[in-house]
Amino acid sequence: MTAQIPLVDYLVLGDAPHLQANECTSCGARYFDRRNACAGCFGTEFRKVDVPTEGEVRAFTIVTFAAPGVPVPFVAAVVDCNGTSVRGNLINVDPDPEHVSLGMKVRLATYSLGLDDNGVEAVGFGFEPA
């Protein structure tokens, strides 16, 4: 089996791919990046928590003009996963206002970003219509 590496370290691969957040143990604030202290309460202890893989689109845009090297069009969105806001692209859907809408139900999905020179496959994530 090909060795895999996630696009970002908060994407957990395996049989049931999901996102994992750093949750502040004192106030419950969730972060996807590494934190020195909690921006909400200044606490310094965090635990790993799994983020629900299903959610609802709270905001989106269809980007048709981007920096060099960034393929367009793509749909950027904020997905509300049962109270945890997640940034991600909407994938496996036509990138137009007829097929993407506010409030639509989506679920996490992964896709290949290709192999590197060592034969390791990078895997990205997005959200697809549920």
Partner 1 sequence: MADDIYILGIKMTKFGKHPDKDTVDLASEAAMAALADGGVTMKDMGVLAAGCLMGGGGIGQQIQKQIGQTGIPVFNVSNACATGATALRTAIMAIKAGECDMGLAVGVEKLAGAGLLGAGGRAKSDKKEWTPSGRYGAVTGTDGRIGTDAMPGTFAQVGMEYGHKYGGASFELFAKISEKNHAHSTLNPLAAYTKRMTLEEIMNDVMIAYPNTRSMCSANCDGAAAAVVVSGSKLKTMSLEQQRRAIKVSASVLTSDPWQEACQVLPDVNTLTKVAAKQAYEQAGVGPEDLDLVELHDCFATAELVHYDNLGLCEEGGAVDFFNSGATWRDGRTPVNVSGGLESKGHPIAATGIANIWEVCHHLRGEAGDRQIEGAKVGLAHVIGLGSACGIHILEKSALG
DSSP 52: P
Residues found near partner 1 in the complex (CB under 8 A)? 5-10, 29-34, 39-40, 57-72, 74, 76-78, 83, 85-89, 97, 102-103, 113, 116-118, 120, 122, 124-125
User: Which residues, including other chains, have CB under 8 Å from residue 69's CB and lie 6 or more apart?
Assistant: none
Could you tell me which of 88, 91, 111 has the C-alpha nearest to residue 99? 91
Between 40 and 83, CB nearer to Zn ion: 40
Q: Would you call 121 helix, strand, or coil by DSSP?
A: strand
Cβ-count burial 63-95 (b if 16+ within 10 Å, e if not): eeeeeeeeeeebbebebbbeebebebbbbebeb
Binding-site partner at residue 43 among partner 1, Zn ion, none, CB < 5 to 8 Å by type: Zn ion
Binding-site partner at residue 39 among partner 1, Zn ion, none, CB < 5 to 8 Å by type: partner 1
Round to whole Å and give the CA distance between 101 and 16: 26
The site map against Zn ion for 8-47 (x = CB under 5 A) is ----------------x-xx-x--------x-xx-x----
Least CB distance from residue 15 to partner 1, whole Å? 21
Least CB distance from residue 104 to partner 1, whole Å? 10
